Amino acid sequence: MDLMEYQGKQVFARYGIEVSPGDVARTADEAVAVAQRVGYPVVVKAQVHIGGRGKAGGVKLAHDAEETRFHAGNILGLDIRGHVVSVLWVEHASDIAEEYYASFTLDRSAKKHLGMLSAQGGVDIEAVAASAPDAIARVWVDPTVGLTTEQARAWVEAARLNPAATDGAVDILLTLYRCYVDGDCDLAEINPLILTPDGQVKALDAKVSLDDNAAFRHPEWEAFAGTEDLDERERLAKEKHLQYVGLDGTVGIIANGAGLAMSTVDVVSQVGGTPANFLDIGGGANAAVMAAALEVIESDDKVRAIFINIFGGITRGEEVANGIVQALGRFTPRSPIVIRLDGTNAEEGRRILEPHLSDRLVSQPTMLDAARQAVALAGTVA
Amino acid sequence: MAIFVDEGTRVVVQGLTGGQGRYHGLRNRAYGTRVVAGVSPKKAGIDVEGIPVVASVQEAVDAHQANASFVVVPPAAAAGAILEAATAGLAFIVCITEGIPAKDEARVYNALVNDHPGVRLLGPNCPGVISPGKCNIGITAGEIAQLPTAGGPNVGIVSRSGTLTYQALYELKQKEIGVSTCVGIGGDPVPGTSFVDCLAAFEEDAETDAILMIGEIGGSAEEEAAEFVAAHVTKPMSAYIAGVTAPPGKKMGHAGAIVSGGKGTAQGKMDALAAAGVQVGRNPTEAGELMAEIVASLS
């Protein structure tokens, strides 16, 4: 789950990473109240799931209540490349001597945690990586050992930060590592990490992405529920615990397993169709899951045909078949359905489906045949 | 011959008394796998349709000579279960658990590398491994795997995705092409066994004559595999990469499957494999057809 800046700062605060005093505001009045509390000057910042807020006019400096109200009023409702601002973060403005970049993420090739630190902060780190790769100091951390103080110090020295920042940077990086690991972040990034004229090192921004698989040990993540950047279909799917990604086409896709779902999207495209979505029902597809999947697919007006592609492993053929039959008892889709069923207990599954087959519910033996028929149906149904 | 598992594999199921563990443990046994014990600290002493349940993996090793483990436990318990199996001295561990936090996976992977260098972990979040006719550990439906052809040629299969592993088996079954071993390495960010590990094992395996590889978008495992193929693999290969049409920045179900910054795209992976001499199909069926041509040329 990708967090917005203010949520990332809440995670940072939990682990003791220094941020500027501030709070969330949803109206201009609230913004002024926060500003009075934290002290002027303040920065008023749009909270959206997208970068480049400053250039879009979503970050403004204010010296008094009037300016705060003016900027807050302008930023609320602002459309930043399709993301409309409804939440602001208002914080005491920091004096900045220098801007750095720091982050931790998983290096999947090395299978270790990767820390990146650069004296060139406040800009897009991918641009730095492309134009001046040597400007990024990297450290690989063995998860069974953790980031040691000596390692952090050598890393900071390799990044050639201002010597005045060394001790503060070592401290904040050790804390950021703990936040990244104990906080189950997929990404914990500070850009910019700033050095103030009086020698403090602190986080001016926060970009945090959480590992959804670790939610069971983070009850505090409840606070972030419902704030994700999802379209309506994705929100409905999430409520029903389905893995769904919305696309633009007309063939709705339900498959079991991420790989098969991806492959189904590929095959539908290759036979000349346009996939409406990626939807993985995972293992163990019962009637409730299948009904939920059909409902999510049908909430998309563009869908003209549905392709259910199941290869049984954990998911058993008779469960899927019963699931489909029962789901169709509860819910009548607008679109015709093409089913391809194979694998564990597939024959039993096909026997269960047999009496229910019609021109609205078709069974095909192979993935390619099923894709072709689904695409044909999507083209002919008005 | 085969890789990783064969007639001599003696399996302990960690989680045999749970719903999934019981179902798949019994299915594996019905296939012919020697399932010698189950582990459940709370239910030790009972049996599951004749399979004795003991309190620890160590006991399964001592009393039942287990030499491999099948881990089917909930995500919160998986890291502990894998390390228990490694500590008990099992050299091969299959973990099918889906939804393990990435931090746990990274910690377990490095703990195995540091403290148990002889141990191979397959998974987590994988379908398991089957050497047809010999041993099946995991959730693969054994009947879709074609038995190896005496005297060959036989194909080794390695795949990231579970259901595409079955699809690959199915494609070869339709064509009556023998399979030596089929390995599903799983789609998580830190798999215990990589494509390269499997390719190296297949290259060494006398029963395997050709290799079918199924990859997907995200990460760089397929690119690393392509480099390895160019340098070390002499056996002919076909491949398919899922996610050609995936939009960038979206996580396609598997935690690992995300295209970011132009890296990890299906096209990049297909190009890398083709450059290494692999026949690359645009869908699983095409990869199967390419493999059929390879096998025909070997017969």
Whether the predicted pLDDT of B257 surpasses 90: no
- Which residues from A are below 8 Å from B110, CB to CB? 111-112, 142-144
The dihedral through the CA atoms of B99, B103, B104, B108 has a sign that is: positive
Report if residue A57 sits inside a domain.
yes
Report if residue A1 sits inside a domain.
no
From the number of C-beta atoms within 10 Å of its C-beta (0-12, 13-18, 19+), residue B49 rates as exposed
Minimal CA separation from A361 to chain B, in Å: 23
Which of helix, strand or coil describes residue B265?
coil
pLDDT computed for residue A314 by the predictor: 65
B57 or A315, which is more confident: B57
Active site (catalytic) residues of B: 254
Minimal CA separation from A355 to chain B, in Å: 26
**pLDDT interval class at B249 (50, 70, 90):** low
What is the tally of structural domains in chain A?
Answer: 3
CA B237, distance to chain mean position in Å, is: 18
Determine what percent of chain A is predicted with pLDDT higher than 70. 98
Instruction: Report DSSP state, residue A184.
Output: T
Distance of alpha carbon A253 from alpha carbon A251, whole angstroms:
6
pLDDT computed for residue A286 by the predictor: 74
Q: What is the CATH number of the domain that holds A215?
A: 3.30.470.20
Residues A276 and A309 in one domain: yes
pLDDT computed for residue A382 by the predictor: 41
Residues A178 and A201 in one domain: yes
Q: What is the CATH number of the domain that holds A39?
A: 3.30.1490.20
- Which residues from B are below 8 Å from A181, CB to CB? 103
Residues A276 and A313 in one domain: yes
For tokens 């215990």, the residue is B192
Query: Over the range B255-270, which residues count as b (16 or more CB within 10 Å of their CB) and which as e?
Result: bbbbbeeeebbbebbb
Residues A25 and A57 in one domain: yes
Residues A67 and A151 in one domain: no
The dihedral through the CA atoms of A26, A32, A36, A38 has a sign that is: positive
Phi, psi angles (nearest 5°) of residue A20: -70, 145
Report if residue A7 sits inside a domain.
no
Minimal CA separation from A36 to chain B, in Å: 39
* Contact call for B246 and A278, based on CB within 8 A: yes
| Region A230-241 average pLDDT | 80
Residues A216 and A140 in one domain: yes
Q: What is the CATH number of the domain that holds A310?
A: 3.40.50.261
Query: Please, are residues A55 and A201 in contact by the beta-carbon 8 Å criterion?
Result: no
**Nearest-Cα residue of chain A relative to residue B195:** A109
* A360-373 pLDDT per residue, tens: 999 998 999 999 99
| Region A338-359 average pLDDT | 90
Least confident range of A24-38, A118-132, A133-147, B45-59: A118-132
**Nearest-Cα residue of chain B relative to residue A315:** B139
Report if residue A80 sits inside a domain.
yes
Report if residue A11 sits inside a domain.
no
Query: Over the range B57-75, which residues count as b (16 or more CB within 10 Å of their CB) and which as e?
Result: bbbbbeebebbbbbbbbeb
Q: Which domain-ending residue is among A169, A192, A224?
A: A224
* Contact call for B285 and A314, based on CB within 8 A: no
* Contact call for B216 and A259, based on CB within 8 A: yes
* B114-165 pLDDT per residue, tens: 999 999 999 999 999 999 999 999 998 898 899 999 998 999 999 998 889 9
**pLDDT interval class at B277 (50, 70, 90):** very high
Q: Which domain-ending residue is among A205, A224, A243?
A: A224
Q: Which domain-ending residue is among A184, A204, A224?
A: A224
Residues A244 and A353 in one domain: yes
* A64-97 pLDDT per residue, tens: 999 999 999 999 999 998 889 999 999 999 999 9
Whether the predicted pLDDT of A102 surpasses 90: yes
Residues A141 and A219 in one domain: yes
Domains of chain B by start residue, with CATH: 10-122 (3.40.50.720), 145-298 (3.40.50.261)
Report if residue A5 sits inside a domain.
no
* Contact call for B163 and A112, based on CB within 8 A: no
Which of A113, A261, A314 is the closest to B253 by Cβ?
A: A261
pLDDT computed for residue A253 by the predictor: 96
Phi, psi angles (nearest 5°) of residue A105: -155, 180
* Contact call for A257 and B161, based on CB within 8 A: yes
Residues A315 and A261 in one domain: yes
Report if residue A16 sits inside a domain.
no
Q: Which domain, by its residues, includes A109?
A: 98-224
**Nearest-Cα residue of chain A relative to residue B285:** A368
**pLDDT interval class at A284 (50, 70, 90):** low
Least confident range of A193-202, A313-322, A339-348: A313-322
* Contact call for B164 and A313, based on CB within 8 A: no
Least confident range of A20-24, A207-211, A342-346: A342-346
pLDDT computed for residue A93 by the predictor: 97
Whether the predicted pLDDT of A380 surpasses 70: no
Residues A307 and A243 in one domain: yes
Report if residue A304 sits inside a domain.
yes
Residues A181 and A290 in one domain: no
Residues A261 and A368 in one domain: yes
